[in-house]
Amino acid sequence: MTTAARTDAPFPNAPGPLAVGWSRVWRARRLVERNILVYRHQWIIIVSGVFEPVFYLVGIGLGLGAIIDTVTLADGRSVPYAAYVGPALVATAAMNGAVFETVFNVFFKLNYNRTYEGVLATPMGITEIAIGELLWSLMRSTLYAVAMFVIMLAMGLILSPLGLLMVPAALLVAAAFGAAGLAGTSYLRTVNDFDIPLGLIVMPMFLFSGTFFPIEGVLPSWLVTIITFTPLYHGIELIRGLSTGIVGLEHVVSLGYLVGFFLLCMWLAMRQMERKLIK
């Protein structure tokens, strides 16, 4: 009976979902390798992004920190202002690495270089392209997040052993924004449209998601409500909670939000890239 059951089973040799997923990731590595070859002579472009959050940490975290001194956390503890700002800059560094890679570079590959049309002539498909570009953006974001983590650690700004989870959390933030960048890039028509995602979305989130000051009790309640629906707010809350050791139910909600946001944007990204490339 066992033999008959195996024989009569539909598609007995069909791979499972895990095997299919891994095979797509394995094929997508070719796109990552291609990007590495392209940037091997332009590495300064990627490495230069490490310094932006460091400049913010020194200029604002230490500069304003000399005036503001401490910030009171949810549990009543007072921490140095630089220790408050630092985790937020880890989140924004991860965001910037993912966004700049998936918005700028993917836009030119999609609309000018026609890179993906050549890729589709290989065994790779739309899914592999999306996964490959996401993996490459995660590599760039990892560099920025790890650099900030090491600097914070050296400066004594990580206040809890849970801070070791800051880098994995930053990768989740990067994945969420990388997927959003892939989805949004397909809607851009010209280089002038870059002002929309960067000037009207990324910059306001950077300034008003609790990066430099607690938003509760400072901003109007209606604006706070809007901000709490943004992915950067949840990324900052999650990473700051790990850095300071204050982790509660709201951080579990932030974790779930980022996972859901990533899955939704990744689905939309593959759908939009297919619409753009398959004509």
- What is the sign of the dihedral through the CA atoms of 225, 231, 236 and 241? positive
Residue with tokens 């901003």: 219
pLDDT, one tens digit per residue, over 188-247 is: 888 888 888 888 899 999 999 999 999 988 899 999 999 999 999 999 999 999 999 989
**Mind listing the pLDDT tens digit for each residue in 65-116?**
888 888 888 778 888 999 999 999 999 999 999 998 898 888 888 888 888 8
Exposure of 213 in the CB half-sphere (CA atoms within 13 A): 10
Of 31, 265, 272, 262, the residue nearest 128 (C-alpha): 31
- Rounded to two decimals, the pTM is 0.88
Which among 78, 91, 86, 90 is positioned nearest to 61, based on CA atoms? Answer: 86
Q: Which residue has the tokens 């309640």?
A: 221
Helix (H, G, I), strand (E, B) or coil at 78: strand
Q: Which of 221, 242, 247, 246 is closest to 173 using CA atoms? A: 242
Using an 8 Å Cβ cutoff, are 256 and 105 in contact?
A: no
pLDDT at 147 over 90: yes
Check if the beta carbon of residue 129 is closer than 8 Å to that of residue 272.
Answer: no
Tell me how far apart the alpha carbons of residues 215 and 81 are, in angstroms, rounded to a whole number. Answer: 15
Model confidence at 47, pLDDT cuts 50, 70, 90, reads confident
Amino acid sitting at position 78: S
**What mean pLDDT do residues 261-267 have?**
95
